[in-house]
Structures are given as structure tokens and as C-alpha cells.
């Protein structure tokens, strides 16, 4: 009898575990395949096929504006079955909420439906030099220093943290590390009062500089105030804004997104290309033409989706740069596409294969998995190399994304972000 009870409990446990696993897989697939946001162009019919056991409704006061499956819906509450393919069209720009219900019964989540004007971008693919100054002096880390007495000190321990931005010293604003070091010397070992920004919050702290054997005063902190590099210009909008990289500029030491004060992008000259190979990503080695004549534009924002800013009015695009419509997530298909870049001295569209699409919002910069199939590009770079981040991805004569990362173990493969993610940041 006791054995039967134990056996029954084991069976029940396995049954409950199976139910939990099924629910987990269902929720995982729902999150992976159902985006948090959908964009459609006004007066253009968009097709969707989620094949998920969900019912949805759109609540709107704009009666008769939204059409489902090519049928105008007069009601202010529009019902959709996500288990079947469907189309959406709106005759008016606006924002709506799609309410999702699992099996038509359980409230699951809301999707933002944005109806926007047609957007056209000029896909570029040109190498650019990037120069930015941080918004404050970036703290990289702390270290011990040896004082004039021969003892080791760590004056910044628990006072400055990696990722902090120093804004002022003794109420005096500082932007360059040279100025900061000069102010520390002026203290002659007296306490200094630092104003910092840490995770968006402004705080103050006091530190006592230590005199070293060389006669200098130090606080034992590694700092940085600017950075430079090579990347790829993704697009220029028809109203003079630009987007590049497809991912943000992060500090090499802290790994955090850099908070910038100002920056510029310039024309860059490619000097050589180090081919990528297994375990070692390749690299474009270039020279930044950092002068007014070759300045393309000003950087205004550094975001997880790339850098954005305004194009210099004097910057002239080449004649081959033509605007293309953007392709939204739902329009991206597995199979042939192209990336545009300049690794041979001129702009070329190289063939790639889109192998995986993840329209969820779990990782904005890795929504597309691509594989380089063009033998010309493979012969030059070995695949995707550092410096190609931002290369626009084009499919069916629409710009659909940008290259963001390379697979370390296979340089022929990499990730891309959807162009609508970059447009969201541009807006």
C-alpha cells in the first residue's frame, strides 16, 4: 500500500513537471515570436502570420480606420485570431494597443501598434571615423599607489566605482582628464570634493590625495575622457539625420554604454584588413580624416541601437546613394539578402543568407542571424570583421537592418538589428 502511494506521488510529480515544462515552452515561444511593438505604414496593407493560440483585439475610438483581412471594421473593438494569417491596414496615423489573450481567455500582454508615415532612408555602408568625448570623466577602476612613506594606499576605495562619471572637483566643472589631474596637484594633499553621476544619480564624495615618491599627488583611479574608432555609416535620412554602428559605443574596460557629451563622425580611409578566423575576429584598420573638410556630422546620441546625429550641411552624398523604403520586422524573410559596405575602395552589395529571425524584444541588437555567402567578401575579409558594424542589410529593395556583431568561432556568421529598432531611436 505504501509503495502504491509513493509510486502515485512520483507519477503526479512527473505529470506536474511535464505540465510546467509545457507551460514554460509555450511562454518561451510566445515571447520569442510575438513582438512588443508592431509598426505599419499608413494606407499600406501589412501581412502577419504568428501561428500562435492567441486572440487579440484593438480598442480604438477611430471607428472604421483600421481594416483587418482587407475588410473595414466599423466597430471600435477589432478582433483578430493570431492562430491564422491576417492583414492589417490603417487609413490614419496613430498609436493603438493590441490586447492579447491566451486561448482567447487569459490576458497575456499588450502590443503597441504604431501607424506611421512612409519612411525612406539612404543606405550608405561607408567607413567612418568616430570621435566622442564623455559627459564627464569616466572612471575605469581603482588601484593601489605607493606613498612617499613607502606604504601602499587606495584612497578611492569604496568612493569611486567603475562606470562613475566625475562632473566636478571642489565645485569646479571638469571635462578633460588633464584638467582633473591638474586640480588634484593643486590640492597638495588636502581633501577634494568630487561630484559624480552614478547610474543616473548625482552624488558627492570626499577623497584625500596621496603624495607619491615622485612628488605628485594621486587618488589611485584610472580615468578616460574620450574615445575614437572605425565603424560603418548605416543610413542618412531624407531630412538630414544619420544612424551608424547598429550598437552603442561601450567602454572597452567597463563594458558599459558610454555617456557622451559631444562627438563627430568623419570620412575614414581603410589602410588594411585583418581577415577573421576561428576564435579571432578580423578588423578593419583605418585612418580617421579628422578635419573640418572630412567631417560628416555631429553625434547627438549614443544608444544601445547605435549612434545618431545630424549630417553636416556641406557633406555631399555620392550619386549612387539612393533612398530606399524601410522593411519592418514582419517583412524580413529567411534567405537571400545583401549587406552594403566598402572594403574594395567602392560601395558594393554583397550577398548574404538570413538564417534566423527573432522578432521579440529580448535583445535588440541580435534579432537577425546572417551568414556571408559572397565569395568576393569572404576572400577579402573572411566574413564579418570589426569595423563593419553598421553595414546596412538590404532585402527586396528595402533596408531591413544593420550588421552588429560577428560570431567569434565563425567569422562568416554574425548578428544584425532590425532597422525599425534604429528608426525608433532616431525618432
Round to whole Å and give the CA distance between 186 and 189. 8
Total number of residues shown for the chain? 427
φ and ψ of 236, to 5 deg: -125, 130
Give 186's contacts (C-beta < 8 A, 6+ positions apart): none
Question: What is the spatial distance between Cα 334 and Cα 220, in angstroms, rounded to a whole number?
Answer: 52
Pick from 393, 123, 348, 130: which is nearest to 242 by CA? 123
Helix, strand, or coil (residue 9):
helix
SS3 59: strand
Phi, psi of 390 (to 5 degrees): 105, -15
Residue 99 cell numbers, joined: 490586447
Give CA–CA dist 91/66, Å, rounded.
7
What DSSP line would sit under 91-144, residue for residue? Answer: SS-EEEEEEEEETTTEEEEEEEEEEE---EEEEEEEEEEEEEEEEEEEEEEE--
Q: Which of the residues are catalytic?
A: 247, 374, 389
Vertex 267: Cα angle to 242 and 418 (nearest 5): 35
What is the DSSP secondary-structure string of 323-353? Answer: -EEB--GGG--SEEEEEEE-SSSS-EEEEEE
Tell the burial category of 231 from Cβ atoms under 10 Å away from its Cβ (0-12, 13-18, 19+).
buried
- Which residue has 532585402 as its cell numbers? 395
Strands lying side by side in the sheet with 71-72: 46-48, 86-90, 66-68, 71-72
The secondary structure of 262-313 as a DSSP string is EEEEEEEEEEEEEPPBTTB--EEEEEE--SGGGEEEEEEEEETTEEEEEE-T
Q: Is 396 left (phi over 0), alpha (psi -120 to 50) or beta?
A: left
Tell me the C-alpha to C-alpha distance, in Å, between residue 38 and each of 48, 232, 334, 373, 408: 10, 27, 19, 30, 32
Amino acid at each position: 500500500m505504501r509503495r502504491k502511494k509513493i509510486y502515485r506521488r512520483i507519477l503526479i510529480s512527473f505529470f506536474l513537471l511535464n505540465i510546467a515544462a509545457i507551460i514554460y515552452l509555450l511562454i518561451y515561444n510566445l515571447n520569442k515570436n510575438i513582438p512588443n511593438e508592431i509598426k505599419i505604414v499608413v494606407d499600406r496593407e501589412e501581412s502577419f502570420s504568428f501561428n500562435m493560440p492567441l486572440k487579440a483585439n484593438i480598442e480604438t475610438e477611430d471607428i472604421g480606420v483600421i481594416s483587418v483581412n482587407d475588410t473595414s471594421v466599423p466597430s471600435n473593438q477589432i478582433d483578430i485570431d493570431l492562430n491564422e494569417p491576417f492583414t492589417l491596414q490603417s487609413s490614419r496615423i496613430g498609436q493603438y494597443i493590441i490586447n492579447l489573450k491566451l486561448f482567447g481567455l487569459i490576458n497575456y500582454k499588450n502590443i503597441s501598434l504604431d501607424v506611421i508615415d512612409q519612411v525612406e532612408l539612404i543606405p550608405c555602408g561607408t567607413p567612418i571615423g568616430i570621435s566622442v568625448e564623455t559627459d564627464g570623466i569616466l572612471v575605469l577602476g581603482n588601484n593601489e599607489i605607493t606613498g612617499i612613506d613607502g606604504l601602499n594606499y587606495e584612497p578611492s576605495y569604496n568612493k569611486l566605482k567603475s562606470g562613475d562619471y566625475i562632473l566636478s572637483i571642489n565645485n569646479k566643472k571638469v571635462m578633460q582628464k588633464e584638467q582633473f589631474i591638474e586640480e588634484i596637484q593643486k590640492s597638495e594633499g588636502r581633501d577634494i570634493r568630487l561630484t559624480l553621476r552614478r547610474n543616473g544619480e548625482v552624488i558627492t564624495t570626499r577623497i584625500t590625495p596621496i603624495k607619491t615618491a615622485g612628488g605628485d599627488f594621486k587618488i589611485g583611479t584610472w580615468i578616460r575622457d574620450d574615445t575614437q574608432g572605425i565603424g560603418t555609416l548605416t543610413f542618412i535620412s531624407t531630412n538630414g539625420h544619420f544612424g551608424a554602428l547598429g550598437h552603442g559605443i561601450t567602454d572597452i574596460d567597463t563594458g558599459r554604454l558610454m555617456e557622451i557629451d559631444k562627438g563627430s563622425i568623419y570620412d575614414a580611409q581603410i589602410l588594411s584588413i585583418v581577415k577573421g578566423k576561428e576564435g579571432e575576429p578580423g578588423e578593419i584598420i583605418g585612418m580617421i580624416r579628422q578635419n573640418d573638410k572630412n567631417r560628416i556630422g555631429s553625434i547627438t546620441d549614443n544608444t544601445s541601437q547605435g549612434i545618431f546625429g545630424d549630417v553636416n550641411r556641406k557633406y555631399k552624398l555620392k550619386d549612387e546613394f539612393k533612398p530606399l523604403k524601410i522593411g519592418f520586422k514582419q517583412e524580413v524573410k529567411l534567405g537571400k539578402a545583401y549587406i552594403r559596405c566598402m572594403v574594395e575602395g567602392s560601395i558594393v552589395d554583397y550577398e548574404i543568407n538570413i538564417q534566423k529571425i527573432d522578432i521579440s524584444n529580448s535583445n535588440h541588437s541580435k534579432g537577425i542571424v546572417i551568414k556571408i555567402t559572397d565569395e568576393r567578401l569572404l576572400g577579402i575579409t573572411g566574413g564579418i570583421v570589426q569595423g563593419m558594424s553598421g553595414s546596412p542589410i538590404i532585402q527586396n529593395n528595402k533596408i531591413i537592418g544593420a550588421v552588429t556583431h560577428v560570431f567569434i568561432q565563425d567569422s562568416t556568421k554574425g548578428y544584425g538589428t532590425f532597422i525599425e529598432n534604429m528608426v525608433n531611436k532616431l525618432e
